[in-house]
Structure 1
Amino acid sequence: MGGDLYALDFDGVLCDSCGESSLSALKAAKIRWPWVFERVVSALETWIVDQMHVVRPVVETGYENLLLVRLLVEIQVPSVRKSSVADGLTIEAILENWSKLKPIILKEWDEDRDALINLFGRVRDEWIENDLSGWIGANRFYPGVADALRFASSQLYIVTTKQARFADALLRELAGVTIPADRIYGLGTGPKVKVLQQLQGMPEHEGFSLHFVEDRLATLKNVIKEPALDGWNLYLGRWGYNTEKEREEAESIPRIQLLDLSDFSKKLK
């Protein structure tokens, strides 16, 4: 027995979904807060989608895209402002302080995390049902990744905060890859730290070299805090949703290896 087992994040490691998630968030935000978007003209919408690409590294779970979309509107349109943090807030400050800002705006907007998750999923489901090619086309797999997945000799698992049905649809429709449902751990399967513990504890994985590829530094740092996961090789994908500052910090952490996209594809093969 033995070999290599790779636990792979989805968004920011396999797939650049920022275009789709930003547009879906905009659709969902208009449903949730129609009065906020009454004064949002198309030029402001374009600016919001552009800025969403910049702030994407802070997103851990998809529903946060809705919060960011509304916060960007509040920054630009004072008349709809309901949060104490929007006045004078910069994009750089969002990148630096999102973990502090998020609970404040959830409370001040009187919002429920689960309701936003459900709405975000419903909007995506409706987009898929009404315009599958448009939804698929708003995503892209990173160069070389689809082939690397298709021809991988390693055991592959997807460990993501994305809802599993969306990851599965993109793997099949866009990458032409089928990964069994029991190897896709999506939103609702528990924190990634717990999923990694499950994977390493499976009898069939005894003797495997364990590898976890992620684009969020905070997630890798959570793994490092857990002594039971000391056997995992940890990688931060340079091509994903992270900042130069985070990549520099990762270089100072012995457990974390920084990975280039070309090296990642070679590793899977």
Structure 2
Amino acid sequence: MINFNGNLHSKDSYFLNQENRGLRYGDALFEAIRVVNNKVFFLEDHYLRLMASMRILRMEIPMNFSMEFLEEQILATVNANNLQSKPVRIRFTVFRNNGGLYLPKTNDISYIVEANALNTPFFILNEGAYEVELFKDFYVNADMLSTLKTNNKIINVVGSVFASENGYQNCLLLNQDKRVVEALNGNVFLVKGNLIKTPSVKDGCLNGIIRKKLIGILGALEGYEFEESAISPFELQKADELFITNAIVGIQPITKYRKKEYGSTVAADLLGKLNAAARLN
């Protein structure tokens, strides 16, 4: 079942048409959210990011769009799919309503909530082979729009095709200054000794929820030094560890980039702390 504006529809029903602005112009935002046993992980962070993004895109935020409303619609969709006792991936999509060309006729919005079962209730460390390469066909433009989770993800789509065609599990994206920005499906962190780095949002990376949580965790830990700073491709092969973060996987260690192979000791340490934060949130 799919939740469209509070009404539940079967997954094979047709409730959108060719005028949908998300389809026509990518005029849409989405949040990928993990839910376990009817508990929404990092609900406040997802809600605040969505509201901030809607304001930036000049979408009209409905009066009833509270954090409680968001949670209610997510759980209604989980329950309609009989997934209340399972870990679930939610996609909450918001798009501007039909009408207009580039200039919309209205800034009012609609939303869709989708729910799909996940395999594990908490984040686990995948230590299987995970090789990445730089994707250099196109670049991320480092501005505020690139930090939002919009439906304008064509570079991620083409990069994913490139990775699949060449036997990589993922690719790292570069900005116009040839700095490493993020992975195709999440933020990237680099470990060298006790130093942990991740690109700044000023470099054009997604303002990720798990990225934010790890920055908070690292700020309270002794034994690690943390920086938000640019990462050059040259640094990748000098690193001890590289890992990717997103709200569904948590932390994904990178095991190989070109001829360099990496460990996952720090990733495993931080994953335990991330799971603890998820249970407490």
Query: TM-score normalised to the size of structure 1?
Result: 0.29
Higher-RCO chain (CA-CA 8 Å, sequence separation at least 6) = 1
Flag the structure with higher strand content.
2
Flag the structure with higher helix content.
1
Query: TM-score normalised to the size of structure 2?
Result: 0.28
